Structure 1
Amino acid sequence: MSARTEEFREVADRVWVARHEWLDLNVTAVLGDRGLLLVDTHGSERAARAMLDRLRRVSTAPLVAVLNTHAHWDHVLGNAVVTEEFPEADLMAHEAAVAGMPASRERVLDDLPRDDPDVEAVESSRLVLPGTTFSSVRALDLGDRYVELVHCGRGHTDGDVVVRVPDADVLVAGDLLEESAPPVYGVDSWPLEWPVTLELVGQMTTPDTVVVPGHGAVVDQDFLHGQRADTGIVAETIHHLAGQGVSLEDALAHEDWPFPPEAVATAVRLGYEHLPRSARRLPVL
């Protein structure tokens, strides 16, 4: 699924992904005998209504569960529409994700340009918090198939959850993986822990696994391993520079990053902040 079609396309047995033009964001639907699981709800109520209309073109089964993969507004601001249309659906997220959703909602205008044509739709969208939370792993029974919801650790945020559909060999990674742009190191990211988290995510895949990133085209295990290696370089470089006594300002000017400098600036700042004092030397004069 390389093109942004907006329509839900089947990427494995009864697993559909819609790659949206706006935000290049993916929404995933998984069908079992009991009904549908929806993974993420898009970034506004208006976008969610259009998304649900397209979902009904591939399945009219009841929506029994909804998962927000993490706290960020572009994945959760459709919750109000989805829960109003499907009041019996169980809205779920990691406990840390729920705690972080209000702050992400407040950061909308930091993430979205004022000239974005959808900014008013985003600002007017209501934030509905998931009522079902978990801290580690949750199994979801869809009837003839089980789906695993797993928190592998901190990375893009402190509440990232991946969705594994074992019988279809599909893994929905949320924003722990991005295909269409470098990983986003936001103000609530954990750059030193991200590669370890991706290492655990990778252990849940096979060479044939269909991997759905939070944004961009569907990828595979090789792509996941590549992004794990790149996030590892970021973390290791931060450790090395801080351990050599390089100042934060000079570290920000360092050129040997796997991503553009502007993509890792926040990672460097947070990395220096998260390092224990014993891992940092005084700046070299």
Structure 2
Amino acid sequence: MVFSEVADRVWVARHEWYDVNVSVVAGDRGLVVVDTHGSAAAGRRVLDDVRRLGAGEVVAVVNTHAHFDHAFGNIAFREADPGVPIHAHEDAVASLSATSPADTAATWASGADDPRREEVLATEVVLPDHTFSSATVLDLGDRVLELVHPGPAHTAGDLVVLVPDAQVLLAGDLVEESGPPALGADSFPMQWPLSLDIVLGLTTGASTVVPGHGAVVDRDFVEVQRNELGIVAETIRDLAGRGVPVDEALATGEWPWDPRHLETAVRRGYEQLPRSQKRLPLI
């Protein structure tokens, strides 16, 4: 997959499988690869593409969160350099340590003949070995990268990568362009809007934002998505506060996206609300 330069020495490759983005940031001290794709084989293809850039050697890897499509390619970079540091939030490491290729393949593969299934099954999960809780910095000599955990959102261990001098923010799956945000079984729908408020605080009107999936966007796009997530959270809060049972919430509420996309989000939201914000179901 060809990398496109979206800002000074910041490249993005948008991959067909899962429409996932892999990013590379260059500095005097080398390259940082942000996310590594979904299998050992896919990671090796990413590494080949990085080498074709001819921009330097990989000196660090970052996983924006623990999902396989962003982290299972780690093994390819460790094969190439056993000492390369892999950075992630501490909660992402805990989640990834509980992830198996077999369970992953069973969850997403469309069937036993899915051409990617064997790739995933053959992957050794490599855990990040450099973790942080709130924020940290990677020094590339002539520029720094800021790794920030804005709070739980898509997962418990999300991070974003800010490249201040280039006005670029690599958002991972906190932002998605190819469809509505993935509010899955490990998401935090009630806190996601607040986490995006922090992300918005890291950007300006001139910022380039690279989502986890889909085309590069701007700050306005992120603000719209934040507001849509806010509608989801406040609708859940309102329905629970009025005593609407969780099984009736999707049919009762007015949602910014197809309600079928929000079944898990609503259940997660009801679970995450404090007892004081929920009434007994209406009779």
Query: Which category describes the TM-score, using the shorter chain as reference length?
Result: over 0.9
Q: Alpha carbon RMSD of aligned pairs, Å?
A: 1.1
Deviation of 1:253 (Å): 2.0
Amino acid at match of 1:111: W
Distance 1:87 1:63 in 2: 12
In structure 2, distance between residues paired with 1:239 and 1:262? 19
What is the CA-CA distance between 1:60 and the residue it aligns to?
Answer: 4.5
Determine the structure 1 residue equivalent to 2:84.
89
- Helix, strand or coil at the partner of 1:253: helix
* CA-CA distance at 1:87 after TM superposition: 2.4
The separation in 1 between residues aligned to 2:252 and 2:41, in whole angstroms, is 42
1: CA distance, partners of 2:129 / 2:153: 23
Find the partner of 1:70 among 65, 70, 92. Answer: 65
CA deviations on 1:20-54 (whole Å, 9 max, x unpaired) are 01110000000000000000010011111111111
Counterpart residue type for residue 40 of structure 1: D
Count of residue correspondences: 280
Query: Which moved further from structure 2: 121-130 or 81-90?
Result: 81-90
- Once residues 78 and 229 of structure 1 are traced to their aligned partners in structure 2, the CA distance between those partners, rounded to angstroms, is 33
Structure 1 length normalisation: TM-score?
0.96
* Identical positions, percent: 56
SS of the equivalent of 2:53 reads coil
1:253 to 247, 251, 254: 251
Question: Which residue, out of 101, 107, 111, partners 2:108?
Answer: 111
Of 7, 10, 13 in structure 2, the residue corresponding to residue 15 of structure 1 is 10
Q: Which range moves more in the overlay, 112-121 or 188-197? A: 112-121
Deviations along 1:69-104, whole A, 9 cap, x unmatched? Answer: 001011111111111112232111100000001334
- Secondary structure, in 3 states, of the residue corresponding to 1:11? strand
Q: Displacement of 1:186 after TM fit?
A: 1.0
Gap runs ≥5 in structure 2:
none
Deviation, 1:59, is 2.5
* Greater Cα offset, 246-255 or 77-86: 246-255
Letter aligned with residue 36 of structure 1: L
Ranges in structure 1 where 5+ consecutive residues have no aligned partner: 1-5
Please list, as runs of the form range in 1=range in 2, the aligned pairs for 1:1-285 lying within 5 A after superposition.
6-105=1-100, 106-114=103-111, 115-285=113-283
The CA distance in 1 between the partners of 2:228 and 2:57, in whole Å, is 40
CA distance in 1, matches of 2:131, 2:67: 16
Distance in structure 1 (CA, Å) of the matches to 2:108 and 2:184:
10
2:180 counterpart letter in structure 1:
P
Contact preservation (8 Å) 1:170, 1:209: yes
- Separation in 1 of the partners of 2:166 and 2:278? 46
- Partner Cα distance (1:24, 1:210) in 2: 18
Which secondary structure does the structure 2 equivalent of 1:42 belong to? coil
1:274 maps to a residue whose letter is: Q
Work out the CA distance in 1 between the residues paired with 2:108 and 2:257. 19
CA contact (8 A) 2:8 2:166 kept: yes
